[in-house]
Amino acid sequence: MENMGYQPEELIPIVAELAAAYTGYEHSSVTYETAEMLMEAALYCIHECVIDKGNALAAGPVSAKKAYEAGFCAVVQKTKELQEIYNRLIGDFQDYGLTCLRDVIVQGIPAFLLRYDVKFAPQETLLTLDYPVLKDLSGLSGVDAVLEYVRCVCLEQRFLKKFDPAYILEILRACAPEYETLLENICAVSLPSLLAHMTLQKPLSSRGFSVEEYETLERMFAGKPAEETEAHFAKLLNSLIEYSFGHEEDLEDYLGCAVGDLAKRVSWNGANHCLERIFLL
C-alpha cells in the first residue's frame, strides 16, 4: 500500500505506538513481518480518512497521526455497521440451496466479526467470499470488502424475495441439476430469463420458452451492437425494479452490473443459435 502522501518519518511514530501496544507495552521491538503488518494497518486507516467524504479531516491537509486516528474511528464504525446489517440480513436469509452462499453468510461473516483485528490488522479480509456478487470488489480489503459484500447480498435478497422461491430454484436446477455446488451468482443466473419474459411480454407463470420464442429472441438481437442490447435490458430491468420497489437507485446500480455481461453473452449465443443456454426458464 502506498504511503498516502506521507513521509516515512510521519508514519514511523504511528507504527512504533502500535508496536508498543502489540507487545503489551513491554517493549517496542517486533519482527520485520509484524512491523510490516502494522505499517499496513496504519496506512489502511489513513486511507479510510481520505475516502471518508463526510470527515472534515479529509477536506484539507492533516498530520498523519490525525488522519490515522480519524481513519481508525471510521474502521470501528464500519465494523459496527457490518454487525448491524448482518443482524438484519440473517433473520430471514435464504440461501436457495447454494452451499457457497450459505457458507459465507452463515459461517464466514460471524467468523470475520469474531476474528477481525480492528487495531493491528484492519487490512486483512480473512474470508475468501466464495459466493460471487455482481459488483467488482477486487480493489477492497478488510472491513471495506466484507461490508460492501454483505450490502450486495442484502440487495440480492431484497430482489429475489419478490419472486416465488420455487421459481428461483427451478432456474437454478435448469442451470445445473446439482446446482447446490454452483459457484454462480443467483441473480446472474435468474435475471436473463426474467428479462426474456419481459422482452416477449410473456407472464412468468408460463414457464420455459418454445423453439419459436427462442427464434424470435434471436431475430430481435441479431446484428445489434452489444451496447444497444445492453440498453434494452437495462431499461427492462429498471422498469422491473420500479414496478416492484419504486425508485431504488441502489438496486438499479447493483443489478445493472449484470447487464453488460448479459448483452455480450446474448450476442455470442444468438449468433451460435444457442440462446437456451442463457434464457433457461
pTM summary value: 0.93
* Segments in the chain below pLDDT 70: 1-2, 27-28, 53-60
Q: What is the pLDDT of residue 50?
A: 85
The predicted pLDDT at position 59 comes to 52
Count CB neighbours of 254 within 10 A.
22
Q: In Å, how far from its chain's centre is CA 59?
A: 28
pLDDT of residue 57: 52
> Rounded to 5 degrees, what angle do the CA atoms 69, 72, 76 make?
140
Which pLDDT does position 24 carry in this prediction? 85
pLDDT at 72 (0 to 100) = 97
